[in-house]
A and B are shown apart, each in its own frame.
Chain A
Amino acid sequence: MTNGWTDIANADVILAMGGNPAENHPVGFRFVMEAKRRRGAKLVAVDPRFQRTAAVADHFVQIRAGTDIAFLGGLINYALQTGHVQVDYVKLHTNAPFIVKEGYSFDEKTGLFSGWDKDKKQYDTSTWQYEVDAQGNAQVDPTLQHPRSVFQLMKAFYARYTPQKVSEVCGCDAEAFTKAAEIITSTYPANRAGTIMYALGWTHHSFSVQLIKTAAMLQLLLGNVGMPGGGVNALRGHANIQGGTDMGMGYHNVPGYMPIPKAGHVSMEDYLKVAVPKPLRPNSVNFWSNTPKLFTSQLKAFYGAAATKANQFGYTLHPRLPEDPKSGKLENWSWAYIYDHMAQGQVEGLVDFGMNPVCNGPNSRKMVFALSQLKWLVVAENFETETTSFWKSEILALAGKKPEDVKTEVFLLPAANFAEKSGSFTNSSRWAQWKYKALDAPGQAKPDQEIIGRIFTKVRELYKTEGGTFPDPVLGLDWSYTNPVSPAEDEVAREVNGKDLTTGQQLASFSALKDDGTTSSGNWLYCGSYTDSGNMMMRRSTEDPTGLGRFSSWTWSWPANRRIMYNRASADAQGKPWDPSRPAIVWNGKAWVGDVPDYPGTSDPEKGAGAFIVLPEGVARLFAPGDIFKEGPFPEFYEPVESPVDNPMHPGGQSHNPAANIFKTTQWDVLGTAKDFPIVGTTYRLTEHFHYWTKNHPRAIEMMPEFFVEIPVELGQEMGIKDGERVRVTSARGHIEGKALLTKRIKPMTVAGKKVYQIGMPIHWGFIGLGKQGGSLANITTPPVVDPNSFCPEYKGFLVKLEKV
């Protein structure tokens, strides 16, 4: 979230789209209700289904699953056509005035941008660039009139997204769209703010990153980014998914969102050449120029005394991302690709901390097959899961195998749960909140730090005694914890924050980090979370002096305890808040006061360093230059890879995302067509359950006992299916059975002149648990497709057929 849960109460308009916050984040949703009750805020819900959020919305629009970019593109067009744009904000804080290089174009007929290589099936992005001068500074036209200014290009690009077009693509009423557009774009005046709440309904698509970009563009045009009550707010789905992401739990980066060193980066110098971008405007802060300090300090935390100047502070010990020898391209080891490589027999072992890929991966049958290729599998878990027991005949049957065929050694390590260990969770607001251990784990169950500690110290012992391949990083790793087999959370938290190695003092802020090996910090983003004054994540002050819900002394928020990201954009060129009743930060002539500024604290606004300090432009990108996104500098609407219709934006042209990654590895990596699978399927969570855990919980099962398929009443009537009867849902990958729940909450729709039905499948059930399980695992049907930027699977929006059992 750019802003945070408590800040949503400051909004005048809330768009809940690509998420169902009342259902999946009910407690966070209280701030929506608060905004409605206290400020008279309006809530607009846009979703394939009338659901819990829609039920309390002021306006609800039902759209076809996966057509969100068309809807948002329509909103951008509406804003530009009606003048519902906060022009001063756009001129100051976005790249709207930037001039794009000649040669960039978009073909409305084919739906492709300039640079498409048919054979390689990828873009040459060299034309997607700014016009730059001899010093490398991007050229701008402050009047926004230049025909190649981002503003004019954007206006022309989205002119195609008329209300009629939106209606044709999304299957909604043009009037319902226009009403939504009126409410949503009503926040363009400086004294109004609107927020967008989204979740996996946006990320689970083959165009997910572009989709979120479209939302950010809309918010920038309306002047809502950086504003209290504004922002683009991703409602994250797990207690510490944010913290895990921060801690580098992705193959492509290291803790603190620095890129992982690549095969070509033989020395740290090579790495830094790429990791530090060149500024694109004269006064741009270009925050990532600090990378040498941040990364060196991290290496010092990792390798301690073994990180020396001679070995580039341990750079030579750190792994680098390999290139595929065949293609020369960097290898992809993102989540779905791990299992793809595994299915090909390239992965021997998997260590799994509380994750259930059999259930939560797409295309479950492939997941089971992939696991069956492993030599060994270690799972630390609270409950038996479909993954710990994938080799049991009922589950293995999904991959057409028998237990005796599967040679995988499996270790199910009983693990402590959240209540049985201390440590911090970072919520969606980026607040790192400390929790305390309440009791011991049951039986022989152990906390994860002990599982990690025991495994690592044992492996290290083996390297010490037996030697082995490149033992240097194993032996050199600084594992000098008081109790190496179970490092205490407190000790680790101090290390993550970092210290001055000369004085031994905990650092107060990442601005103190150095690139000469005299400071260490496991993750610069958390520098300040555990200072010499103590563990800031334990703070419990409920003070809110501004009344804006910042709660700056409740726990600790990254970065630097800042509660609203990009808060410099909440003020104008002179540093005065756009809305004085809702200030985030204010320039008082000497310094920025209010929230912790997302800006150099004493930098005079007149100097014009841009508000978006992490970008080399210094301003937000309406146009994304270069190869940031694989499929284009402006988000275009593409159909889901499995779609019931040809893309109405460019019929006969490119229908789905040309850059989408489609797996073709196993027999289950297949796609279906509308001829065989005429219905749009989508998946989602329900409020009563949490993923695949609560199927072990008696009271959760009491509330929602069994899997069901939500079917439009009209479709049920057409097929002679009655409520409560058993139905089978089949995709090209496989089929599942469940109870039919006939509902008016999903209405049939007309898309490009064709009648289209959608059906919905909640996740939450599988093979192991209380109540009726029986293998009703929705992901058996989901497609082998991932977004080309985030590599997120397309769980929402694919093709199925429906039958009565």
Chain B
Amino acid sequence: MSVPTITRRTFLTTGVAGGVVGAAVSVFGFDVQPAAAQARTLKIERTTETRSVCPYCAVGCSVIIHTLGDRSRNVTGTTVVHVEGDPDSPINRGTLCSKGATLRDDIVNERRMTKMLYRAPGADHFEEKSWDWAIDRIAHLIKETRDKRLITQDYKGRSINALTAMAVVGGCTDSNENNYLIQKAFRAGLGVIPVEQQARI
């Protein structure tokens, strides 16, 4: 990234400009109160605080997410201005590590995925698709795989109803509730045996 270069000329210009403003005050006697008034304003003065838990390691630090925007029905575009440790937590007592302290970068980040993307067989790029289209296509693919490959009876003729032609992985940063839903929908519902998360790796 390039930054504007400072030259002797620009240096002097800024110097003089600053000096003039300053001098006027100085000559007429400097009042201490305006300086105090220039003290920085607190950026979390008008934020909404939400209690959450850090998504990184398993220490389980409680965090407070400060958002701007009053969450009224007609308002969208809430932004996060600060994330800090929750002082109530007996674990982190308000503190965070260097990763936890960057959590705002995890939420507000121009690299976040915001569109449904699809890569067609053999393609070298993603294309945008609608959610409805994607869900419909995924459901058909899952059903096709299951219909064709579900082992209803094994080689000894025992009923086992197991599907190993598809797998489900992940979930270590998902809530217990979502992990349970994964188990329920994919294992108990569709019969998927390989349901695995990050614990083994």
Contact A249–B179 (Cβ < 8 Å) = yes
Whole-angstrom distance between the alpha carbons of A419 and B62 in the complex? 12
Q: Give every chain B residue within 8 A of A408 (Cβ-Cβ).
A: 119, 121
Within 8 A of B (CB), among A379-425: 380-384, 388-389, 391-393, 403-415, 417-425
- CA gap between A489 and B188 in the complex, in Å: 19
- How far does the Cβ of B19 sit from chain A's closest Cβ, in whole Å? 34
Please give 8 more A-B residue pairs, beta carbons under 8 A apart, in addition to A250-B195, A338-B169, A350-B168.
A319-B163, A335-B200, A419-B107, A429-B91, A445-B114, A470-B191, A540-B88, A542-B88
User: How far apart are B115's CB and chain A's nearest CB, in angstroms?
Assistant: 6
A427 touches B131 (CB 8 A): no
A388–B112 alpha-carbon span in the complex (Å)? 13
Q: Does B35 contact A (CB under 8 A)?
A: no
A318 touches B161 (CB 8 A): yes
Please tell me if the beta carbons of B65 and A353 are within 8 angstroms of each other in the complex: no
* A/B interface sample: 13 pairs, CB < 8 A: A27-B91, A237-B198, A244-B176, A249-B195, A254-B187, A378-B138, A409-B137, A421-B175, A429-B91, A431-B91, A440-B78, A456-B185, A470-B152
Q: Is B117 a contact partner of A412 (Cβ separation < 8 A)?
A: yes
| A243 and B175 contact, CB distance less than 8 A | yes
Interface membership of A720, Cβ < 8 A:
no
Report yes or no: A360 in contact with B201, Cβ–Cβ below 8 A: yes
Q: Which of B101, B143, B189 contacts A468 (CB 8 A)?
A: B143
**Segment of B6-14, B25-33, B37-45, B51-59 engaged in the interface with chain A:** B51-59
Complex CA distance for A696 and B107, rounded to whole angstroms:
11
Tally A-B pairs: CB < 8 A: 510
Residues on the B chain within 8 Å of A424, using CB: 175-177
Which A residue's beta carbon lies closest to that of B186?
A: A351
The reply to whether A446 and B184 contact each other, CB–CB distance below 8 Å, is: no
A residues 607-629 touching B (CB-CB < 8 Å): none
| A245, B199: Cβ atoms closer than 8 Å | yes
In chain B, positions 55-86 with a C-beta closer than 8 Å to chain A are 55-62, 65, 67, 69, 76, 78-80
**A696 and B111: CB pair below 8 A?**
yes
A767 in contact (CB, < 8 A): no
- How many positions in chain B have a CB within 8 Å of any CB in the partner chain? 121
Given the interface contacts A411-B118, A417-B55, does A462 sit within 8 Å of B139 by beta carbon? Answer: yes
A700 beta carbon closer than 8 Å to chain B = yes
Would you call A191 an interface residue if the criterion is a C-beta within 8 Å of the partner chain's C-beta atoms?
Answer: no
A432 to B62, CA, bound (A): 12
Cβ of B90 within 8 Å of any chain A Cβ, yes or no, is yes
Whether the pair B116, A412 counts as a contact (CB closer than 8 A) is yes
Interfacial chain A residues near B191, Cβ < 8 Å: 319, 470, 473
Please tell me which stretch of A87-95, A107-115, A785-793 contacts chain B, meaning at least 4 of its Cβ atoms lie within 8 angstroms of it: A785-793
Contact segment of A214-222, A320-328, A726-734: A320-328
Bound together, the chains give a CA A255 to CA B197 distance in angstroms of 13
Instruction: Find B192's partner among A319, A354, A432 (CB 8 Å cutoff).
Output: A319
B103 CB to nearest chain A CB (Å): 8
Q: Are A455 and B51 in contact (CB under 8 A)?
A: no
B49 nearest CB neighbor, chain A only: A438
B80 x A427 contact (CB < 8 A): no
Of residues 454 to 506 in A, which have CB atoms within 8 Å of B's CB atoms? Answer: 454-456, 458-463, 466, 468-470, 473-474, 477, 479, 487, 489, 492-493, 495-496
Q: A414-B115, A425-B175 are in contact. Are A237 and B124 (CB under 8 A)?
A: no
Q: Are A351 and B67 in contact (CB-based, < 8 A)?
A: no
Q: Is A242 an interface residue (CB 8 A)?
A: yes
For the complex, what is the distance from the CA of A770 to the CA of B100, rounded to whole Å? 18
Q: Which residues of chain A have C-beta atoms less than 8 A from B168's C-beta?
A: 350-353
CB distance from A48 to the nearest CB of B (A): 20
| B-contacting residues, A325-347, CB 8 Å | 325, 331, 333-336, 338, 341-342, 346-347
Once A349-B145, A350-B169, A448-B178 are accepted as A-B contacts, the answer to whether A239 and B195 lie under 8 Å apart by CB is: no
Give chain B interface residues in 96-133, CB to chain A under 8 Å: 96-103, 105-107, 109, 111-124, 126, 131
Q: Please indicate the chain A residues that have their CB under 8 angstroms from the CB of B117 in the complex.
A: 388, 411-412, 414
Bound form: Cα–Cα A382–B102 in Å = 16
A737 within 8 A of B: no
With A424-B175, A469-B150: A435-B194 Cβ-Cβ less than 8 Å: no
Chain A nearest CB, measured from B113 CB (Å)? 4
Q: Is the CB of A239 within 8 A of B164?
A: no
Count, chain A residues at interface, CB 8 A: 172
Which residue in chain B gives the minimum CB-CB distance to A489? B177
Shortest CB-to-CB span from B139 to chain A, Å, is: 4
Identity of the chain A residue whose Cβ is nearest the Cβ of B134 in the assembled complex: A411
Residue in A348, A381, A417, A696 whose Cβ sees the most chain B Cβ within 10 Å: A348
A319 touches B161 (CB 8 A): yes
B3: interface (CB < 8 Å): no
CA distance A24 to B58 in the complex (A): 10
A526 at the interface (CB under 8 A from B): yes
Chain B minimum-CB-distance residue to A318: B188
B57 touches A690 (CB 8 A): yes
Contact B136 A493 (CB under 8 A): no
Q: Does B16 contact A (CB under 8 A)?
A: no
Bound-state Cα–Cα, A438 to B141, Å: 34
- Which residues from chain A contact B200 at a C-beta distance below 8 Å? 250, 334-336, 790-793
Cβ-defined contact, B165 with A239, below 8 A: no
Separation of A772 and B182 alpha carbons in the complex (Å): 36
CB atoms of A412 and B175 under 8 A apart: no
Determine the distance from Cα of A409 to Cα of B140 in the docked complex, in whole angstroms: 13
A325 CA to B160 CA, complexed, in Å: 13
A649–B126 alpha-carbon span in the complex (Å): 55
Which listed residue (B96, B173, B193) contacts A418, Cβ 8 A? B173
Say which residue of B58, B99, B105, B176 sits within 8 Å of A526 (CB atoms): B176
Complexed CA–CA distance, A316 and B158 (Å):
11
- The reply to whether B174 and A244 form a contact with Cβ atoms under 8 Å apart is yes
Q: In the complex, what's the smallest C-beta–C-beta distance from A75 to chain B, in angstroms?
A: 26
Q: In the bound complex, how far is the Cα of B181 from the Cα of A570, in angstroms?
A: 37
Check if A698 sits within 8 Å of B158, measured CB to CB: no
B196 → chain A closest CB, angstroms: 5
Partner of B90, one of A6, A333, A342, A462: A6
Instruction: Tell which of A412, A415, A455 touches B142, judged by Cβ atoms closer than 8 Å.
Output: A455
A456 nearest in chain B by CB position: B185
List the 4 shortest-distance A-B pairs measured between CB atoms, nearest first. Answer: A443-B114, A423-B175, A427-B60, A353-B170
Query: A438 and B80: CB pair below 8 A?
Result: yes
State how many angstroms separate the Cβ of A194 from the closest Cβ of chain B. 21
Q: A319-B161, A322-B193, A412-B117 are in contact. Are A703 and B98 (CB under 8 A)?
A: yes
Question: What's the minimum C-beta distance from B73 to chain A, rounded to whole angstroms?
Answer: 12
Contact call B57/A238, Cβ cutoff below 8 A: yes
Is B167 part of the contact surface with A, judged by Cβ < 8 Å? yes
A449 vs B174: C-alpha distance when bound (angstroms)? 9
| Inter-subunit contact B113/A697 (CB<8 Å) | no
- Are B58's CB and A235's CB within 8 A? yes
For B119, list chain A residues within 8 Å (CB): 391, 408-410, 412
The residue of chain B having its C-beta at the shortest distance from the C-beta of A393 within the complex is: B124
* Contacts of A299-328 to chain B: CB distance below 8 A: 301-303, 316-323, 325
Judge whether A67 is part of the interface by a CB distance below 8 angstroms: no
- A residues less than 8 Å from B136 (CB atoms): 458
Chain B residues near A245: list those with CB within 8 A.
197, 199
- Complex contact A792–B201 (CB within 8 A): yes
B141 touching A409, Cβ below 8 Å: yes
Cross-chain contact A444 with B115 (CB below 8 angstroms): yes
Give, as a whole number of angstroms, the nearest-CB distance from B87 to chain A.
Answer: 10
User: A470–B200 Cα gap in the complex (Å)?
Assistant: 31
A347 touches B159 (CB 8 A): no
A582 within 8 A of B: no
Nearest Cβ in chain A — how far from B41, in angstroms? Answer: 23
User: Complex: how many Å from CA A408 to CA B194?
Assistant: 19
Of B89, B100, B113, B176, which is within 8 A of A415 by CB?
Answer: B113
Complex contacts, B90 vs chain A, CB 8 Å: 6, 542, 544, 549, 551, 554
A244-B198, A336-B201, A351-B167 as given contacts; A27 in contact with B161, CB under 8 Å: no
